[in-house]
Every structure is written in C-alpha cells, then in structure tokens.
Amino acid sequence: MNNKVAAVILGAGKGTRMKSDLPKVMMPVCGKPMIRHIIDTLEQIKVDEIVTVIAPDGDIVKKEVAPYKTCVQDKQLGTGHAVKCAREALKGFDGDVLVIFGDQPLYTKDTIEKILNKRREGYSIVCLGFVPEDAARYGRLIMKDGELQRIVEYKDANEEERAVKFCNSGMMCFDGGKMFDILDELSDENAAGEYYLTDAVAIALSRGLKCSAVECPVNEAAAANTREELAMLEELLKERNGKN
C-alpha cells in the first residue's frame, strides 16, 4: 500500500465488568492480551503509526504496546473525545487513520485492507459493518447506492431503520487530513454528556463530504465486555486457528 496508515486503538476502558483490576484491553485471549492481537494484525499490514489511548493509570497498557506511542484520556468523555486525545501524537499525519476498539481482537488483515481500500476511493469516513443473526440493539448503518447516509442508534431508530440488519461494528477509517477538523465539531449535548465518534459521519456529510461502509464477517466484530464474552472470543479464535 502506498498511502501511509495510522491506527488509534481505544484502550482506556477499565475491566470492571470483567471483575478484574486489569484494564479491559489487557484481558487475555488465547494467552495474549486482547490489544496484542490487534497490534499483531496491524503489524502485518505494516502501519506507519500506532497510538493507543490509555487511562491515567494505564501504565500496564503503555508497557504492553511499547515502543508504539500512547496518549492519556484524563476523563472518559466518550469515543470522540478519546480519539481527539491522539491529536498531538498524530500531529502532521495526513494518511489514513484507523480507529479500532481495543476489546475487538478478531479483525483480520483482509478486513483492515478492505476498509482502507474503500477509504481511498475518495471517502472521508468509512465505517465497518456486519450483519448479525440478531441485530438486537446495535446501531444501524443506513446506506443508499453504496454510500453511508447516517448511523442511527437503536434507541433513536424508527421502525424502518430498525428493520435494517447492517450494524455498526465500531471500527472506522478516516481521511487523516480532515479527521481532527471534523472531530472538533463534535458536541456533548446528549443524555450521556459525551462526544460520540459516530457523530463524525453527520458532520462530514453536512460538509458535503462522502462517507461509506464495508462489511466484515460477523465473528470479527465480536467484542468483550464480560467474562462470558471473553470466553466466546477465545472459542472463536481457537476455531479460526484450527482452520489455518
């Protein structure tokens, strides 16, 4: 790939729901911290920069991801705020910027290359979607003629939107030259008082920029918030490795 690529890994979450003192991204899957699986995959595609957003007490994560850069999110003010914390670490970078949640260790090289290739077709933002058997309460990616019209959270979706099965995985790819400019327009005027990364799509579209989405296999989008989900990730990874 000719274009430069950076990745921002969101790794400031605590392991509270895992009933652990470890930061969530340090919870092991098949003998390695979740975040290490992500870094291993990013290294396969030879990304130019990796920046991990950590909590103020995230020294163990900082040590795990070294020699790659980290930045500290002092307060948990949402996903958009977390990515903005990487501004200084990515100063002057204008290639592709991947944003990956640190509790989703199953993404493959193929999927990451797919989202990068779509971004390079002239889109400012590309989201990664998946189609689960039960769409449940996931945010929906509303598409028209191959372009992303909006992301709508389940609670805000009307009946027609809830019938859409294309769901938001969380991973996004930005035009790095425009990303922080877009993120600076994010607002925390919502019930949670947080800056949501997904709102970047509406901001980009309001500027006349194009957005799109690509699909990944459903298992790759699996995330772990509980011990049960962590065990499921382990089973999925074992199953994948058994096929190789």
DSSP string, 52-87: EEE-TT-HHHHHHHTTSEEEE-SS---HHHHHHTTT
Q: What are the φ/ψ torsions at residue 120 (nearest 5 degrees)?
A: -75, 0
Residue identified by tokens 């920029």 is 209
Task: Record the tokens describing residue 221, joined without a space.
Answer: 């989008």
Q: What local confidence, expressed as pLDDT, does residue 73 receive?
A: 97
Give Cα 82 distance to the centre of its chain: 11
Q: What local confidence, expressed as pLDDT, does residue 54 receive?
A: 97
Can you tell me the distance from the alpha carbon of 46 to that of 137, in angstroms, rounded to the nearest whole number? Answer: 35
- Which amino acid, one-letter code, is at 88? E
Domains of the chain by residue range: 5-191+199-243
Mean pLDDT by 10 residues, the chain (244 residues): 86 79 93 97 97 96 98 95 98 96 97 98 98 93 97 92 96 97 96 93 98 97 92 95 68
Q: What local confidence, expressed as pLDDT, does residue 239 receive?
A: 93
Q: What local confidence, expressed as pLDDT, does residue 5 receive?
A: 98
* Overall pTM surpassing 0.75 (yes/no): yes
Q: Which fold has domain 5-191+199-243?
A: Spore Coat Polysaccharide Biosynthesis Protein SpsA; Chain A (3.90.550)
- Which amino acid, one-letter code, is at 177? G
For 95, residues 6+ apart whose C-beta sits below 8 A from its C-beta are 3, 4, 5, 6, 48, 176
DSSP state of 88: T
Q: What local confidence, expressed as pLDDT, does residue 192 receive?
A: 87
Sequence-ordered strand ranges (E) for the chain? 5-10, 28-29, 32-33, 49-54, 69-72, 96-101, 125-130, 140-144, 147-152, 167-175, 211-215
